[in-house]
Amino acid sequence: MDLAPSLAGPWYTDDAIFAAEQQTLFSTRWVCAGRGEELAEPGDFVTRIVAGESLILVRDEQGTARAFYNVCRHRGSRILTDDAGRCAHGIRCPYHAWLYALDGELRAAPNIRDWRGEGAQDLGLTPVALEERYGCLFVNLAGDPASFDADITRQLLDRMGTAELIGHWELDRLRVGCSRTYDVAANWKLIVENFSECYHCPTVHPELTTVIPEFKRGAGTLTVPGYGATYGDGIGGFTFDGRPGLPALPALADDEARRYYGLVLTPNWFVNLVEDHVILHRLEPLAPDRTRVVCDWVFAPETLSAGHDIEPSVELFHRTNGQDFAICSQCQLGMTSRAFADGGVLVPVETQLGAFHDEVRAAVETAGGAKGAGHL
Ligand code: FES
Ligand SMILES: [Fe+2]
């Protein structure tokens, strides 16, 4: 059997490779940084780390979500230190109290008589490109970023086959019913790889493979445009024990219900579409061997307000997440071993991983390689 090589162990442990990925994939691509509903009102903000940079994401007076570096233009202080909050009257630096409007412009600099003079207009917060799409906030640190459609929308099209299909879930209308954060002792790429194959499903996911029996064969569906894996006979819904779930989302066609569509959108966003809710994952790489994963379960607002019990639905992917992240952590342990210094192999149903590896290799080469890594 002719098997393709996987990435070698150091790709998952090396500081220089991690830094190169952050400089490229996470600094020039569209990175999912949260849900738009986290910024419900003007002045609502969250702070997020992207590619090692602290960013402020805030909704301005006109209702537009904006992103800025969380760095004061005076002498560089970190400005907002909370994870989330509201700054209805502007963004004030805690050092010398410079005040910025919600659109980033410098509005006041105390005790300087003519601060509005020449140059003040250039002292607004440094902006970061932001797109609010599919109900999510995406940022791009590049000075002249590629279009969102050329990046995320293209990947969505490749997976879903048509531009219309994803619209049937009305992602921008759905609301978070449950959010969980997982601190995973694994490199972010192991988590992307894990979500990109179902070869592990029969061994790792007893509940998921009961609901979706075709996953017992170990073949994923990511490479088949527009294909959703079907629920098993006698399965009532996408719940931990197959009991019936929630009312179906209203815009779905009959043949789109009772199906599961999994999407992996690099560099850091996963989407899982089922008939009555959507599960969204975003990855925050923290170190070569550490990744924070935020998972949001989003539902139709009318389902949430009607008081339906969402727990059986949440529990299925919460268990799946726990199983995935435990096995990714076990896999990370092997990455430091001499026995994996030259890597392993990919079996035929893991071809998607090879494409992801090529994407990462190309990005790291763009960064001039990872000096000192020696395993490229
Ligand atoms: S560093 Fe922010 S006001 Fe001085
Ligand atoms: Fe899995």
Cβ within 8 Å of residue 330, ≥6 positions away: none
- Peptide bond connecting 42 to the previous residue in cis, omega within 30 degrees of 0: no
Beta-bridge partners for 298: 176, 278
Which ligand is in closest contact with the Cα of 108?
1
For helices 351-366 and 15-23, what crossing angle results, to 10°? 80
Instruction: Look at domain 1-29+149-371 and name its CATH class.
Output: alpha beta
pLDDT of residue 371: 53
Q: What is the CATH number of domain 30-145?
A: 2.102.10.10
pLDDT of residue 283: 98
Q: Which residues of the chain have pLDDT under 50?
A: 372, 374
333 Cα: distance to centroid of ligand 2 (angstroms)? 18
125 touches ligand 1 (CB under 6 Å): no
Q: At 163, list the tokens.
A: 């531009």
SS3 99: strand
Residues with CB under 5 A from ligand 2 (ion): 324
156 touches ligand 1 (CB under 6 Å): no
DSSP character at residue 194: H
Give the number of the atom of ligand 1 that is nearest the alpha carbon of residue 93. Answer: 2
Cβ within 8 Å of residue 144, ≥6 positions away: none
Neighbours of 168 (CB within 10 A): 15
50 Cα: distance to centroid of ligand 2 (angstroms)? 25
If we measure between CA atoms, which residue out of 6, 5, 2 comes closest to residue 192? 6
In tens, the pLDDT along 325-351 reads 999 999 999 999 999 999 999 999 898
pLDDT of residue 115: 73
Burial environment of residue 306 by CB neighbours within 10 A (0 to 12, 13 to 18, 19 or more): exposed
289 Cα: distance to centroid of ligand 2 (angstroms)? 19
194 Cα: distance to centroid of ligand 2 (angstroms)? 6
Give the number of the atom of ligand 1 that is nearest the alpha carbon of residue 75. Answer: 1
223 touches ligand 1 (CB under 6 Å): no
Residue in 75, 78, 91 to alter for ligand 1 test, most ligand atoms within 8 A of Cβ = 75
Answer yes or no: are the C-beta atoms of 15 and 22 closer than 8 Å.
no
In tens, the pLDDT along 167-214 reads 999 999 999 999 999 999 999 999 999 999 999 999 999 999 999 999
pTM value is 0.95
25 touches ligand 1 (CB under 6 Å): no
Answer yes or no: are the C-beta atoms of 176 and 297 closer than 8 Å.
yes
Answer yes or no: are the C-beta atoms of 321 and 180 closer than 8 Å.
yes
Hunting for tokens 């070869």 — which residue is that? 199
Q: What are the angstrom distances between the C-alpha of 172 and each of 17, 130, 175, 325?
A: 35, 16, 8, 28
pLDDT of residue 372: 46
95 touches ligand 1 (CB under 6 Å): yes
Residue in 68, 81, 95, 126 to alter for ligand 1 test, most ligand atoms within 8 A of Cβ = 95
Atom 3 of ligand 1 has which residue's CA nearest to it?
96
Cβ within 8 Å of residue 155, ≥6 positions away: 263, 265, 266
371 touches ligand 1 (CB under 6 Å): no
SS3 221: coil
Atom 4 of ligand 1 has which residue's CA nearest to it?
96
CA 371 to CA 376: how far, in whole Å?
10
Give the angle 364-356-138 at the CA atoms, nearest 5°: 80
Would you list the domain boundaries of the chain? 1-29+149-371, 30-145
pLDDT of residue 346: 95
CA gyration radius for the chain? 22
Hunting for tokens 């000192």 — which residue is that? 372
DSSP H or E stretch at residue 148: helix 148-148
Exposed e or buried b for every residue in 334-366, given b needs 16+ CB within 10 A? ebeeeebeebeebeeebebbeebbeebeebbee
- Peptide bond connecting 267 to the previous residue in cis, omega within 30 degrees of 0: yes
77 touches ligand 1 (CB under 6 Å): yes
Hunting for tokens 């299909």 — which residue is that? 165
Hunting for tokens 């890594």 — which residue is that? 373
98 touches ligand 1 (CB under 6 Å): yes
